[in-house]
Each structure stands twice: as structure tokens, then as C-alpha cells.
Amino acid sequence: MSKLSLKHLPVAALMAGFLFSQNANAAGFQLTDFSMTGLGRSYAGAGIVGDDYSAIAFNPAGMALKGSGAQAGAALIWQHGDVKGHAEKAGVGVVSGKKDVSIPVGVPNLFAQYKVSDSVNFGLGVYAPFGLETKYDGDWFGSDLGVHSALEVIDIAPSLSYRINNQWSVGASLIARYGHVKMTNTSAMGFSDFDIDGWGWYGRFGVMYEASENTRFGVAYQTQSTEVEHTLKGDHTILGRDWIGGTVTGLPEHWLLSGYHKHGKFGYSASVRYNRWEHFNDFTLTSSSPLGYHTSKYNWQNTWTVALGVDWYYNDVWTFRAGVAFDESPVRSAALRTVRIPDNDRYWMSLGFTYKVNENVKIDVGYAHLYLPTYKARNGYGKNGVSGITETGLDVKYDVNAEVLGVQFQYDF
């Protein structure tokens, strides 16, 4: 086992380079399960609906819509389906196969805020924007390319909101992110095991405009993570190399635009998010051999997410909601899609409800079905891939969908 220090590598991008995110529930390798009221409407109106304390994780200006209180919740993400195809294994040749996919993952969250004055709110969020694990059988047909990938990430987000007047509010979060990722793969030539952890920093800023008591709009901007120091440790026997360093580009910034309007017993919401994945291009590991290196190519594109939702305020005790969304993938071709991040477009269909237990306590439940059209991954092999590599090198077909079920408890002080 060896240890070394890697400097100036954004921790979230390191995660992306190693992550097999087949169980992520947003395009790329993101998770958005910070609000179960939001889950019920496919996260339309994120940050400004004002029916829970999750604005910290979407648009901190929306904290102005709530007083003092807290919430705790968790979502279960279950991806299911099958993976089939063929891959070229070192020392063996082309191997075909089919594997079932059944991946349950729990994603918790905790938010609290305190109303300092009529104008100022202070809040803290602790949540998991990434938290995934996938483990293939060691002898699956693509084991040269990956066997086990695990990711644990926690964001700690102290936040402030300030109400300028009856119409305008602003907010900001300074976020500390801890990440731990593990990746293994095995082949006839050896075994590779990487283990990386570290801290990063980034910020989120938001503005909210309230045209009236029942109509409001919000814009939020999230920066890229800062460059910090990380630790890499592992046991690497492939070709007798010891991996000694790496370079990678960073996690994307994004913009989020949300709107909400209430009319009678119904509330209508919408969100548009723009993710700048263009900087996530490749990840390179260098070895102790003067000529030894390995580069994983991604070349992701910028993406759009669009969501529409509706809430039915049935009475003072029950609220019902539904939503739909389209979440665009940053991966635009099978040639660039990898088996560690076999991403594709997602279509959301959501339902949810809130039950008000008493004046202080609420229970929120949300459910979403995510449909992913059948897609392939070739890791740069074959058509439109790396020249000189035949199409028999890799051809993996994914037929996988997802279910998300979440519950949270709110308490208003």
C-alpha cells in the first residue's frame, strides 16, 4: 500500500474520473435529492416554492420564505435493469455476457435555519450531492474497465439570506465538500485499487424577486470547486506500474432559474438549469515508468434540465403534487460513453404529498420514476472512437431505469 499527495486537483472532478454513476439520479453524476417536496414535483420551482428548508441547497435567497425550523429526510434510489454486450479482455480475447443491475442507495439530508431578524436568516445544510456505489462481479465481461466503484460525498453549507424589501431577497452559501472515492478493476494482467479523499470549497449565490404574494422568480449560480490537496493511496499491479500522479479538469458551475405562481388551490412551478460540463474533458494518471500513463477521455458537453410541477392545496392538512422533467446528458455518443459513467438522458415523472400533523410538524413524501432510453457505451472504441481500435474492443448495452422514494420530517420552531 502506498500513499502520496496530489495537489491542485478538484475533489469533485476526481470523483467523476473514477465514478461508475449508474445509480446517479441526475444527468452526469449529480444527485438532487435534497427536498422531498421538490421530489414530488420533479424539482420544478427549486429553491423558491417555500414549502421546506431546502433552499440552502438550491437558491439561498429562498430562505427568506421560511422562519426558524429544521428538517431531516432521506431518499432511496433504486436503479434496475440489465447490462449486456462484449469486451476485449487482456490475455483472453473478446468475451460476451449479460448482467442484471439492481442498485439501492440511500441519500440523507439535514437542514436548519434561524430567523435572526425580519430581514436576516441564517441556515446550515448537511447533505449528500453524490453518494453512490456499484459493484460488478469480478469476472464480468468488462472487468478490465471496472469492477467496484464507490463514492461518499458530504456538503456542509452555512448560508445567509437577506430580505432587501418586500420584493427582493438575496442569499449566499459557502460550502465545504468532503469526498471519498474508491475504484478497482481487474484483468489477466493484474489488479488496480485506488482510494482518494479530500476537501474542496465552492459557493452558491441567489436572488429572488416576489412580484406579489403568490408569484415569484429566482436565479441561483453555483461556482466550480476550488483546488485543494488530496491523498491517493492504492495497490496497483497492472503491468508492474505504480501510479504516482494525475491531472483532471473540474466540476461544472451551473445556473438555476425557477418560477412559482399560486392561483386558488393550485401552485404552478417551473425550473431551468444550465450545467457547464465543458471543462470535464479527461483524467490522466502517470506511472513510475517514463512512458507509462493512462488517460480517460470524457469530453462532456453543457446540458439543460427543464422541469414543470403543480401543487394541489387540498385543505389545511393535505397537499398533493406532481411533476415532469427532462434531464439532458452531457454524453452525446456511445464512443465517448464509459462503463464507469454510462450516462444518458433522463425523463422524470413524479408524485408526492405533504401531511400536516399539527401546527409545527409536517411529513413529506415524494416518488419519481426515471426513464432512460436504451443506450450503449464503447469507451472510445469502434465507430467515432479512437483510431486503430476495432469495434470488437467494447460494446456494452444498457437497459436501466430508476425509482426514487423519499420521506422527510419538518419542524417549525
The confidence score (pLDDT) of residue 300 equals 76
Residue (of 93, 90, 88, 56) closest to 71 by Cα position: 56
Per-residue pLDDT, averaged over 187-207, amounts to 73
For the cut 70, the answer to whether the pLDDT of residue 21 exceeds it is no
Per-residue pLDDT, averaged over 158-168, amounts to 97
Summarised one tens digit per residue, pLDDT across range 173-190 is: 999 988 776 666 665 555
Take residue 96 and report the three cell numbers written for it.
460476451
* Domain covering 2-412 assigned CATH 3.50.50.60 in the classification: no
Distance CA 140, CA 229 (A): 35
Domain ranges of the chain: 2-412
For the cut 50, the answer to whether the pLDDT of residue 205 exceeds it is yes
Burial string for 208-247 (b: 16+ CB within 10 Å, else e) reads bebeeeeebbbbbebebbeebebebebebebeebebbebe
The separation between CA 265 and the C-alpha centre of its own chain, rounded to angstroms, equals 33
Q: Is 248 exposed, middle or buried (0-12, 13-18, 19+ CB in 10 A)?
A: buried
Residue (of 330, 235, 329) closest to 281 by Cα position: 330
Summarised one tens digit per residue, pLDDT across range 92-128 is: 777 788 888 787 888 889 999 999 999 999 999 999 8
The confidence score (pLDDT) of residue 162 equals 98
For the cut 90, the answer to whether the pLDDT of residue 227 exceeds it is no
Summarised one tens digit per residue, pLDDT across range 291-320 is: 444 555 667 788 899 999 999 999 999 999
Average pLDDT, the chain: 79
Find where cell 436504451 sits.
374
Task: Mean pLDDT check: name the lowest of 50-64, 164-178, 274-288.
Answer: 274-288
What pTM value is reported for the model?
A: 0.82
Cα atoms found within 13 Å of the Cα of residue 314, Cβ hemisphere only: 10
The DSSP element (H or E) to which 18 belongs, if any, is helix 11-18
Summarised one tens digit per residue, pLDDT across range 318-377 is: 999 999 999 998 887 777 777 767 778 899 999 999 999 999 999 999 999 999 988 887
For the cut 60, the answer to whether the pLDDT of residue 10 exceeds it is no
The 3-state DSSP class for residue 360 equals coil
Summarised one tens digit per residue, pLDDT across range 64-78 is: 999 999 999 999 988
Residue (of 363, 344, 348) closest to 404 by Cα position: 348
CA atoms 356, 357, 360, 366: torsion sign? negative
Distance CA 64, CA 55 (A): 9
The separation between CA 209 and the C-alpha centre of its own chain, rounded to angstroms, equals 27
